[in-house]
Every structure is written in C-alpha cells, then in structure tokens.
A and B are shown apart, each in its own frame.
Chain A
Amino acid sequence: MSTVTNPTPADQGGLAPDPAVTPTKAAGAKKLPIIFGVMAALLAIVLLRSAHEGDTTFQLSAETDFVTLPDITVPSMLTAWLMVLVCVAVAGESVRRLLAHVRQPAWLPIVFALAWMTGFLSWAAADGRIRVVSLFAGAVALAIPLVFGALGGVLGERAGVVNIAIEGQLLFGAFAAAITASLTGSSLAGLVAAMVAGALIALILGLFAITYFVDQVIVGVVLNVLVVGLTNFLFRQVLTPNADTLNSPERMRAFPIPVLGDIPLIGPILFRQTPLVYLLYIVVALVAYALYRTRWGLRVRAVGEHPKAADTVGIRVNRTRYRTILLAGAIAGLGGAYFSLVSVAGFNREMTGGAGYIALAAVIFGKWDPIRATLAALLFGFASNLQGVLSAIGSPVPSQFMLMLPYLVTIFAVAGLVGRSRPPAADGVPYKQQ
C-alpha cells in the first residue's frame, strides 16, 4: 500500500471525461474543413434567402481621433458574396491540406473568421454603418469580468480545485467594491475590497473542498446560492435604505493612454479604456508568464496534474492549492468590480447575471490555458457586444441566438466536436496525505 493515494479523477467527481464510458473517436484535423464548409454554406443560404440591397459603411475611427481613417463604403450584397467566395477558398485550401496530410496553419481559421464576419456584417448592416472601433472597444469592455473570472478559474483548476463559484466571487466582488468605493470615495479601495471579497469566497471553497474533502462542484454551486442570498438580503435590508452612503460609488472613467491611445484603430480599441482594463492586460501577462515560466507555476501545475508526485518531491500540495485559489479568488473578485464600478455605478441584485458561468465556459473552451481562456472570454464578449450592435441596427438575427452562442460553443467543446478539452488530471480531486 502506498503512503499516499491518488485515485482516478472520474472516481472522484472531477471534471475529466469519464473513462467508464468509452468515448467515440474524435478526428482532429477533419473537423476544420467541415466547420468551414458548414459556416460558408450557412452564410450563402442567408444571403440567398433575403437579399439586402444598399451600401454598408464601415467607420474605422471615432470623430475625435488624432489620425482619422476614412470611412469605407461598399455595396452590401456584392461584398457579402465576395466574402463567401473567400470563405469557400479558405475551406478549399483546408481540404487540400487535409488530403495532402499537411498541418492546418493557424492563419486559416483567422482569415476565415474575418471574412465571414465582414460578409455577415455588410449584409446585416445594409444601408447602415458599422462603427468598427466601438464594436471592438465595447467587446473588450464587456469581456473584462469574463477574462478576470476565466483567469481565476484557470488558476484554480490548474492547481486541481474546480471553481464553479466564479459567479459567486464576481457577485461578492461587485458588492464589496460598491460599498467600499462609496464609503471611501476611492475606486482603488473598491478594487482592493473586490479582491478581498473574491479571496474570501475562495477561502470558504478551500475550507470545504481542500480541508474537509467535500465535493468541489457541490461547494461551488452552494456558494453561488449563498452569495446570491447574502447580497440580495443585505441589498434590501442595508444598502437600499442607506443608498446615499453605501451604494453610490463614483463610476470609473476611461483614461486614455497618451501615445498608445492615438494609434489608429488599435489605440481607441485597446488604450482608451478604464484603468481596470489596463490592470487586466498586466494580470493576463503575469498569470501566463508565472504559470509557465516560474518555479511557482511549475509547482501549481504539478499539484494539479499529479499531486502524489508533487508531494514526493516535497511540494506541500494543500498549501499550494490554498495559496493558488486565494490568488485566483482575488483575480475573479477584481472582475466583479467591473459590474458595480465600471458598467454602472452601484450594486444591484444579481447584477452579474451568469457572467461567472460564461467565464467557466471560457476556461473550458480555452482548454485551461490563461491566454486561450482570455481569447475565449474576448470572443464571448465580442458575441454579446455584437448582439447589442445588431439589435440596434435592426438585424434579422434574433438576439437570443447570439446570446446563446457561448454556451452552445462550450457544449460542443466538451463533447469533443470542436477540439477536445482536457482538464488537468487531478482537477476536482481532493488530496489527502496519509
């Protein structure tokens, strides 16, 4: 009998695919051309079924820009059909590479996605204008809580602790940020309070999941309910009667960075945001670097992949897990501050509206990698901003289907239809030293 036990994840209710059922074989390379083909055909069908005559204007810069790019006006249908041709060409190239057994390079999906999006937008916004800058800048802003939440999720799960409680951390972060910023009059204090609040939820998660071996998914779900109940209760009993002193924080303003903000196209999108966004860039870079390039990151990953081996070489498994999820909770809590300090000024009931679950989706869709999870969160932010833009210009696509997209994509991802997602081996498995 070994001194430590490390059961297989599926026996422990971790999030790994269950080995007790035999998964159907998933072919990786074949899927890309199929997806391309289906998407291109879909766009062509949409164009055939309802033609939108007219011109579409793509506005590339805001009026206040230092360097103004000219507006691009194109005939709607012609452009859309051209883009369908580009998509078909990319799909054809992908098929050729598949038949020749050559690797599918990363630029294929990127070109495809850009062409598809351009074609779709020029059709959807016929006789209207698409403000490209605000489309993307809005997407970045909407993605803030998703990215912070997803980073928190990635860190926790890399250390082997499943964090369903991201939603609770965001909500509690928003709550703490609103109160603290109102009391002190400083947004910075609000951000710090949000971090503490997120870490506090993580501490409870750790207490039950790491120390008392309670199923991590159950603790996460229950913590979410607890935070909803607690914040709703306090909002009604305490915040609403004293709204002036406790729930009137100052809204964070956009702070353009002098030189970077003047770069055409990129500047207004990335560098004319609130300080929380700049903080986001730093945190993403730090987490990605630390997780893969430092001794600390190696230990975190070791603890999440094979805690027994980590223990044998002298890494304190549970202490590492505690530290990591506290940090992860602080990061997720920071995302919560977006809701009550940036999006609107002040806390409201259940104001996170399921963002924590989208962040969880981004973690899985991003394959437990900080950079990919960030990109996934940005993609989901883009989808939800696009929905807003489309419903404003009266697009025929029902907004509900746009909003459904992140969740559908995640189901496809875990089912292995769009690249299989594999969690860290010991994700969700409590570790008990014997």
Chain B
Amino acid sequence: MSDADKPQPDEKPVQPEPESGTDTVTEEAPQETTEDAAKDDSRSRSVLREIASGDALSGVLAVFLAVFVGSVMIAATDEGVRETLGYVTARPSDFFSAVWEAISGAYSAMFRGAIFNYNLTEPAQQWRPLTETLKFAGPLILGGLGVGIAFRAALFNIGGRGQMLIAGGAAGLVGSQVSLPAGIHLVVAILVGMAAGALWGGIAGLLKARTGAHEVIVTIMLNYVAFYLLFYALAEDFLFKTPASNNPKSLPMKETAILPKVLGDKFNLHLGFVLALIAVGVVWWLLSRSTLGYRIRAVGENPHAARASGINVGRTYTTVMLIAGSLLGLAGVNQVLGTVSSGVSLDLDASIGFDAITVALLGRSRPLGILAAGLLFGFLKAGGFTMQSSENISVDLVLVVQSLIVLFLAAPPLVRAIFRLPAQEAK
C-alpha cells in the first residue's frame, strides 16, 4: 500500500510524505486532527450515534410518519376511494368513508393476522396469530443481533443474506442427507449451520483486518457468491438436489433434525424463537459484561484510541464478524430447520438478511432494543400476509413502512422540521 492510499492530514498538505514506514503515517493521521477529534467524533458515524442517542419522541414520530405514508398508499390505491374521488366535491362524505374503510380494513386485518383473531371462537385459534408474530420475529431478532453487534464495532454487515444462505445450506445438508440419532442430529445441524455462517461473515472481517478492504463492498459481493454457490449445490446431483426434479431444491429435512414445536402441533411456533431469546441474553452479556464486548465497543467508538490502548483492532474485526455471521447463520438455520422444513431453496432467507439491517437500526444496536424491533417487524410481517389475503393489499407495503421508519429515524432533524418541533442542539 502506498502513501497515496491514505487520507492525508489536513494541517500540512504540502509537506512531502516519508517514503517508508507506512505504519507511522497511519498512526499520525489521528494525531494531526486532535484539535478537531472530539468534534469530529461526535459527528462521525452520525447515524449510529443519532440512533443511539435520539430521543424517544423522534422514534415515535418516525413510526407515526411511516404509518401515515403507508395509509396514504393504501387509500390512494383502493378501488372504492378512487371511485368516490370522482365526485368528491359533490359528496365528500362518501370519499372520507371510503378512505376510512380502506385504511381501517387494512389495519384491522393486520391486527387479526398478527395478534388476536376476533372472528374466531375457539380461544386457542384466536390467539394463534400472536404465535405467528413470534415465529416471524425469531429470525428477525437473530439477524438484527448479527447486524447490530457488527454495528457496535462500527462495521456495516450487509452480508446477512449470504450468511443466511450459506448457513441454511450447510444446516440443510446435514438435516436432509445425514442420519444421526434424534437430539444429536438437531444439535449437529444447528452447529454446522452456525459455523458456516460464521465462516462467511469471518471472510469479510478477515479481509478488513488484513487488507483494509471495506466490509460493505465485500459483504455485498459475498451475498451473490453465496447465492450462486447454493444455487450450484442445489442444482447438482452429487450435493443435494432432489433426484428427478428440475427445481433447485433439496429433499425435506429428516424428522430428527427439525426444530420441535414449542406450543404443541396446533401452533407453528418452534424452538427457533426460544433460541432467539437465548441469543438476546448471550449478546447482552457479551456486549456489556465481557472483555470481548468491551473491546468491540472500544473499537467501534474509536479504533485509533483502541489500538493505542493495546487492543488488536484487526483481530476484533475478525472476531465480531465471526459472531455476527454465526448469529445470522442461526437465523438461516431457523428458517431451514424450523419455519420451512420442506427443503432448502434459494429463497430461504426470505429477505430477512436485509430486514435485519432495519431491525438493528430501529433497535439502536442494543440487544433489548433489537428484541423489541424484531417483535414489531414480526408483527408487521405476520399482519402483512393476512392483509394481503383478506384485504388484497400487497404485503410489500410492509417493506415500504419498514424502510421509511428507518429513514425518518436516521434523520431526527428532518422529523423535527416536519412537525415544526424546536431544533435540539447540544446534547
């Protein structure tokens, strides 16, 4: 790496750079800007900091704004609303009742699909939607933890999709092709999946640590490499393609490798959600009670200071990406061995890899925050499917609302400007 590759200190632009000793130049860079360091740092990684310290009001308003935009989209694309719009000046009441019907219909369908179905009579069936919400929340929480723990080390892990695909593929290989006694089989499949996810995440961490390659680019590219690797594995007979089938899909998982149902066979909720809860606890302990967590947070706050105080920054990057990969891997395992145990397919990630980013952002990269955000997005997902089937409103609306929440949340000044709140300056 030549000297030109490094950002030059501002204060002495004309001074020629030393030819050798690249190390010293890197170390000088932060010192040159010490005057501004405190100020710069408070502005740096602005979104992470803003989300970590933004007040609760901004969060509530962000969710409110996003839901409002979603409501407008529902109303604008509703047949009844468009019909009544034609004579809105003649009979505005028709128009408003049509709008109300469209929006309230959508949200009550969401409620029925995600919390409590009041149209049924049997209590167990009435509460079934709530277990569906938990089922969807499980992998979102796991994925959110995977992205969130990387955020804490100031790493942006966009590779959730690839890590899930590789992990799901590996766990599916064990689950469908290997025969082991009950109990052991499940544990082995889960561990193999997590190890595969960790490996895939670790590549990005290792490349960052050894070559400085930016993890955003590497993880994006690894997503596609993972996709085509899994595609290849599912299309070849000698790996795990279903015999005599043209679809890239594996055989279903064996009984011994399927995550058991937690609340009996009436409900789809499986052990994956319990694993997610355990993972929340483990990550919380790791981040706030362990030495490794301290290192991760130190590197995330200021890598230069962390290195000056004797922390191996590169090794921390690699370790945190290994952990992140194993968490997202567990999310992939959760899909393959739990939610969709009929066989590994190319869409096993079900866009959770990207949803996890929004979960982590909304949860402010804190384990408990991620738990709450995961439950909220699980609610949106479960409700979205019911909304689509009963009100014929595309489930993709959930994606829009989700991304709007994160966008508004990332820019509190914008939300303040919209609601004409006084600007909040110094913290």
State whether A25 touches B399 (Cβ < 8 A): no
> Given that A401-B228, A414-B214 are known contacts, is A208 also in contact with B48, CB under 8 Å in the complex?
no
> Given that A23-B1, A407-B225 are known contacts, is A228 also in contact with B410, CB under 8 Å in the complex?
no
A201 smallest CB distance to B (angstroms)? 12
- Tell whether A164 is near chain B: CB-to-CB under 8 Å: yes
State whether A414 touches B218 (Cβ < 8 A): yes
State whether A20 touches B399 (Cβ < 8 A): no
Which of A19, A20, A432 has the most chain B CB within a 10 Å cutoff? A20
> Given that A13-B156, A214-B47, A215-B46 are known contacts, is A8 also in contact with B29, CB under 8 Å in the complex?
yes
The residue that B46 contacts in the complex, of A8, A22, A232, A430, with Cβ under 8 A, is: A430
- Tell whether B398 is near chain A: CB-to-CB under 8 Å: yes
- Tell whether B44 is near chain A: CB-to-CB under 8 Å: yes
Q: Mark B13-50, 1 if CB is under 8 A from A, else 0.
A: 10000000011001001100101100111011111101
Question: A residues 18-54 with Cβ under 8 Å of B?
Answer: 18-26
User: Quick one: closest B residue to A21, CB to CB?
Assistant: B314
User: Quick one: closest B residue to A236, CB to CB?
Assistant: B394
- Tell whether A420 is near chain B: CB-to-CB under 8 Å: yes
The residue that B224 contacts in the complex, of A9, A23, A354, with Cβ under 8 A, is: A354
A7 smallest CB distance to B (angstroms)? 4
State whether B211 touches A23 (Cβ < 8 A): yes
State whether B354 touches A225 (Cβ < 8 A): yes
Contacts of A98 in B (CB 8 A): none
The residue that B396 contacts in the complex, of A212, A233, A407, A422, with Cβ under 8 A, is: A233
Contacts of B398 in A (CB 8 A): 229
Contacts of B397 in A (CB 8 A): 229, 233
Q: Mark B207-240, 1 if CB is under 8 A from A, else 0.
A: 1111111101110111011001101100110000
Contacts of A24 in B (CB 8 A): 210-211
Question: B residues 1-19 with Cβ under 8 Å of A?
Answer: 1, 4-8, 10, 13
B399 smallest CB distance to A (angstroms)? 3
- Tell whether A10 is near chain B: CB-to-CB under 8 Å: yes
User: Quick one: closest A residue to B220, CB to CB?
Assistant: A357
* Distance in angstroms between the alpha carbons of A11 and B45 in the assembled complex: 7
State whether A238 touches B77 (Cβ < 8 A): yes
* Distance in angstroms between the alpha carbons of A12 and B44 in the assembled complex: 5
State whether B7 touches A19 (Cβ < 8 A): yes
Contacts of B403 in A (CB 8 A): 222-223, 225-226, 229
* Distance in angstroms between the alpha carbons of A1 and B44 in the assembled complex: 18
* Distance in angstroms between the alpha carbons of A2 and B314 in the assembled complex: 32
- Tell whether B413 is near chain A: CB-to-CB under 8 Å: yes
> Given that A22-B26, A237-B77, A415-B207 are known contacts, is A218 also in contact with B313, CB under 8 Å in the complex?
no
- Tell whether B154 is near chain A: CB-to-CB under 8 Å: yes
- Tell whether A310 is near chain B: CB-to-CB under 8 Å: no
Contacts of A161 in B (CB 8 A): none
- Tell whether A79 is near chain B: CB-to-CB under 8 Å: no
State whether A23 touches B229 (Cβ < 8 A): no
A191 smallest CB distance to B (angstroms)? 26
State whether A217 touches B232 (Cβ < 8 A): no
> Given that A15-B214, A19-B7 are known contacts, is A214 also in contact with B411, CB under 8 Å in the complex?
yes
User: Quick one: closest B residue to A398, CB to CB?
Assistant: B232
State whether B303 touches A232 (Cβ < 8 A): no
B247 smallest CB distance to A (angstroms)? 15
State whether A233 touches B213 (Cβ < 8 A): no
A157 smallest CB distance to B (angstroms)? 12
* Distance in angstroms between the alpha carbons of A407 and B156 in the assembled complex: 18
* Distance in angstroms between the alpha carbons of A214 and B39 in the assembled complex: 16
- Tell whether A400 is near chain B: CB-to-CB under 8 Å: yes
Q: Mark A358-375, 1 if CB is under 8 A from B, else 0.
A: 001100100000000000
> Given that A2-B10, A7-B40, A238-B77 are known contacts, is A21 also in contact with B399, CB under 8 Å in the complex?
no
User: Quick one: closest B residue to A12, CB to CB?
Assistant: B44
Contacts of B224 in A (CB 8 A): 354, 357, 404, 407
State whether B39 touches A19 (Cβ < 8 A): no
State whether A229 touches B396 (Cβ < 8 A): yes
* Distance in angstroms between the alpha carbons of A13 and B215 in the assembled complex: 10
State whether A425 touches B7 (Cβ < 8 A): yes
- Tell whether B361 is near chain A: CB-to-CB under 8 Å: yes
* Distance in angstroms between the alpha carbons of A223 and B411 in the assembled complex: 14
Q: Mark A201-234, 1 if CB is under 8 A from B, else 0.
A: 0000001100011110111011101101110111
State whether A403 touches B5 (Cβ < 8 A): no
* Distance in angstroms between the alpha carbons of A63 and B6 in the assembled complex: 55
Contacts of B410 in A (CB 8 A): 208, 212, 214-215, 218-219, 222
Of the A-B pairs whose beta carbons lie under 8 Å apart in the complex, a sample of 21, sorted by A's number, is A2-B36, A6-B10, A7-B43, A9-B7, A12-B44, A17-B211, A17-B213, A22-B23, A23-B210, A26-B211, A164-B216, A214-B50, A225-B403, A233-B396, A236-B396, A400-B235, A403-B228, A404-B229, A407-B222, A411-B217, A430-B43
**Among all A-B residue pairs, the 5 with the closest Cβ atoms:** A229-B399, A17-B212, A20-B303, A232-B396, A229-B400
Not counting A7-B43, A226-B407, A404-B225, a sample of 12 additional A-B residue pairs whose C-beta atoms are within 8 angstroms of each other reads: A16-B214, A26-B211, A207-B414, A212-B413, A214-B47, A214-B411, A215-B46, A228-B399, A229-B400, A233-B77, A400-B235, A430-B46
